[in-house]
């Protein structure tokens, strides 16, 4: 009995770890793919993803289709029109060392030996991996009709007008060489920004007092997702084609032949090479590490693909990536500089992190003078001190970090002191048991936290108040207490006396009116964006969408309990507790009341009424196991369109469990509770149900 209890307890702990990792990765996906503002490196993301895969395997329960190990990208934003790809636009698995590349080659050879005897003389095509933004171009009868971002791999954002500003992309195919273009053709490729265009853009941003872009990838992504195509045109984006979705079969029998065909159509393609064995791949990789510096654009690795399309088809794919290709990432570029100061930075949630201020140095094409030390454990483990020579890197070309201290030659400075008080507001520093992070206890009393909360609140993925940038927020928070412009909470944004901005440097009449219109327009953001904007701990953009689709109103979320919150897919005990705690905090309720009084309140999320007489009317449905005819996420979306609320866990409130192949603990729990259990065939009957079916 004790053994069973211990096993159950360990399993529950494992589920909590898994849920926390899923939430973190979904939030990172949203920041990378939607906000174009990643806060961790590619290597760190991949490390977290592999850890999640390991934990999911260890738990041994069916993995939900919404898990980051099963999905690509992030749900699309509401800024652009959604466009469904004719064929999924998958991501690539990553390899970070020679051994992982050899494992990739070995797996392919084993699969080929098992399925295609005598086909061991295959070849790889090798292409540089552009650090840009994947897009899907749909041509109908030779004419470009739709251009969409990757999105979640199945549905992306319509950026057709902006894509037309890129000179490397033909609007239509002309001439005899395009005579064999299929009626429907999807060309896949990467939108990127050259090093020269990136430097020119940042110089313009600096002259105009705007925020500088961290790297060319972020600049390209932000430029492509502009609402005004004229802005995109000024950014001088470029494009390389690297493949085809719909229409592949009619354009050749190998990837190398396909690339030549795309070139004949007028697309820019990268120089590619063909190799027959893994040793040649690795030797070529070493060569490219030296050559990458002279390229006019950034690459962050090489891509290895099976050349033969028949072999690609036989290899197939896993949930989020093809088996027949891998991205071999370059290690982070590293340089040596000197630490001049160690400061402590306060974030939106009060987390206080150490940052090294250093002698400026160029890393991966960008001048760096600050680098994160992550947390006190990392600071102490690396033992970074003032005056140390340190190795700095920009892993994944995103956030600079101190990798290690160069072996000191003489006496060193004293170890950095861990602050007992917040460096901004003087409140006490706290550290929760079991957490690496230390936090300022000052809450919104702390101006640093307020500034970061406000920046999050107005950001594009949240309330989307255009024109209210970081510098303006910092200025308004730092205003005197009696100023009509002073911001003390997010609700104060909607009480700004815009007349008081007149005469301030940089605030012409037109700019003030545009800002006022943007603030007014933001008052009716959808529930999911409003919820995300509030900055509730553990509630990222994806979780906010799940909560809004389940509860449909702020009042319902506010008034529910922790148990009911956990009925929402992807909401575990920690997230539920955080949401509940947010609404129990008196100050938060005061801010919400002030927002509502100012007219800032989301309308009820629209719910389609379930057809009269439908067998699932008013019922709670849970899906588990593998479905053959439809993915679990698509089935859940179909149920939502009917007005049915699919939930993620089985409880006494569950009416129906749809059990696919390899159904696990949810099926067992449903049987114990006497919940009706049906198969996929019954689900499909319900999804296709019409009122006359029962006549």
Nearest CA among 502, 461, 299 for reference residue 396: 299
Pairing type for strands 401-405 and 351-363 reads unpaired
**Can you say how many angstroms the Cα of residue 287 is from the centroid of all Cα atoms in its chain?**
32
Pairing type for strands 124-130 and 273-275 reads antiparallel
Residues 366, 427: contact at Cβ < 8 Å?
no
Which tokens is 429 given? 């520093």
| SS3 call for 682 | helix
Please compute, for residue 365, the number of CA atoms within 13 A of its CA located in the half-sphere on the CB side.
25
Q: What angle do CA 331, 334, 338 make, to 5 degrees?
A: 160
Given the structure tokens 């900055």, which residue do they identify?
A: 535
Q: What angle do CA 160, 166, 170 make, to 5 degrees?
A: 80
| Cα–Cα dist 574/562, whole Å | 10
129: annotated active-site residue: yes
Residues 296, 196: contact at Cβ < 8 Å?
yes
CB atoms within 10 A of CB 599: 10
Q: Which residues contact 81 (CB under 8 A, 6 or more apart)?
A: 157, 158
| Cα–Cα dist 560/601, whole Å | 18
Residue from 54, 129, 451, 629 carrying the catalytic annotation: 129
- β-pair partners for 125: 274, 305
Nearest CA among 569, 543, 546, 565 for reference residue 556: 565
**Can you say how many angstroms the Cα of residue 268 is from the centroid of all Cα atoms in its chain?**
28
DSSP code per residue over 384-416: -BTT-EEEEE-GGGSS-EEEEEPPPSS---PBP
| Cα–Cα dist 676/20, whole Å | 30
Residues 447, 456: contact at Cβ < 8 Å?
no
Nearest CA among 608, 619, 612 for reference residue 678: 619
Which tokens is 677 given? 């259990």
Task: Give the catalytic positions in this structure.
Answer: 129
């Amino acid at each position: 009995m004790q053994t069973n209890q211990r096993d159950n307890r360990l399993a529950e702990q494992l589920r909590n770890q898994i849920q926390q990792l899923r939430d973190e990765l979904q939030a990172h996906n949203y920041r990378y793919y939607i906000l174009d503002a990643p806060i961790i490196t590619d290597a760190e993301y991949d490390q977290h993803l592999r850890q999640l895969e390991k934990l999911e395997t260890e738990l041994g329960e069916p993995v939900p289709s919404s898990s980051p190990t099963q999905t690509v990208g992030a749900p699309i934003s509401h800024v652009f029109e959604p466009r469904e790809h004719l064929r999924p636009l998958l991501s690539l698995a990553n390899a970070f060392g020679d051994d992982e590349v050899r494992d990739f080659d070995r797996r392919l050879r084993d699969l080929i030996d098992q399925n295609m005897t005598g086909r061991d003389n295959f070849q790889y095509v090798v292409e540089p991996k552009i650090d840009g933004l994947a897009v899907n171009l749909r041509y109908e009868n030779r004419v470009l009709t739709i251009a969409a971002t990757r999105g979640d791999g199945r549905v992306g954002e319509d950026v057709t007008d902006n894509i037309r500003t890129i000179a490397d992309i033909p609007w239509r195919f002309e001439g005899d060489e395009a005579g064999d273009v299929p009626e429907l053709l999807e060309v896949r490729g990467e939108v990127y920004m050259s090093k020269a265009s990136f430097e020119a853009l940042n110089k313009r941003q600096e002259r105009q007092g705007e925020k500088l872009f961290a790297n060319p990838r972020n600049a390209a992504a932000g430029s492509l997702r502009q609402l005004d195509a004229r802005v995109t045109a000024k950014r001088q984006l470029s494009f390389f084609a690297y493949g085809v979705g719909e229409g592949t079969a009619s354009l050749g029998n190998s990837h190398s032949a396909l690339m030549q065909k795309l070139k004949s159509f007028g697309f820019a393609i990268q120089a590619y090479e063909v190799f027959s064995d893994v040793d040649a791949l690795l030797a070529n990789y070493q060569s490219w590490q030296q050559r990458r510096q002279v390229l006019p654009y950034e690459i962050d690795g090489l891509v290895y693909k099976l050349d033969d399309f028949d072999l690609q088809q036989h290899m197939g794919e896993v949930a989020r990536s093809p088996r027949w290709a891998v991205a071999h990432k370059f290690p982070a570029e590293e340089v040596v500089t000197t630490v001049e100061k160690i400061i402590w930075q306060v974030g939106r949630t009060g987390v206080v992190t150490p940052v090294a201020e250093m002698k400026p140095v160029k890393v991966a094409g960008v001048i760096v003078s600050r680098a994160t030390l992550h947390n006190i454990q990392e600071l102490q483990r690396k033992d970074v001190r003032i005056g140390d020579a340190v190795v700095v890197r920009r892993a994944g070309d995103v956030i600079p970090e101190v990798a290690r201290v160069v072996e000191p030659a003489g006496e060193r400075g004293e170890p950095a002191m861990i602050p007992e008080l917040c460096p901004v507001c003087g409140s006490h520093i706290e550290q929760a048991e079991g957490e690496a992070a230390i936090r300022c206890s000052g809450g919104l009393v702390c101006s640093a936290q307020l500034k970061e909360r406000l920046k999050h609140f107005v950001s594009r993925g949240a309330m989307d108040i255009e024109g209210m940038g970081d510098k303006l927020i910092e200025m308004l928070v730092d205003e005197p207490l009696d100023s009509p412009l002073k911001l003390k909470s997010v609700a104060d944004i909607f009480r700004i006396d815009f007349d008081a901005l007149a005469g301030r440097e940089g605030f012409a009449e037109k700019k003030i009116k545009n800002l006022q219109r943007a603030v007014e327009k933001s008052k009716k953001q959808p529930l999911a964006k409003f919820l995300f904007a509030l900055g509730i701990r553990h509630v990222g953009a994806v979780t906010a969408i799940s909560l809004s689709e389940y509860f449909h109103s702020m009042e319902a979320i506010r008034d529910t309990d922790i148990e009911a919150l956990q009925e929402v897919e992807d909401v575990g005990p920690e997230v539920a507790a955080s949401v509940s705690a947010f609404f129990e905090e008196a100050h938060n309720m005061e801010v919400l009341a002030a927002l509502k009084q100012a007219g800032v309140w989301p309308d009820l999320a629209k719910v389609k009424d379930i057809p009269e007489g439908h067998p699932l009317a008013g019922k709670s449905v849970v899906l588990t196991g593998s479905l053959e005819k439809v993915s679990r996420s698509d089935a859940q979306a179909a149920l939502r369109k009917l007005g049915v609320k699919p939930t993620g866990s089985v409880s006494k409130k569950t009416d129906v469990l749809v059990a696919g192949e390899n159904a696990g603990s949810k099926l067992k729990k449903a049987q114990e509770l006497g919940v009706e259990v049906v198969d996929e065939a019954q689900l499909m009957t319900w999804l296709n149900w019409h009122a006359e079916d029962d006549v």
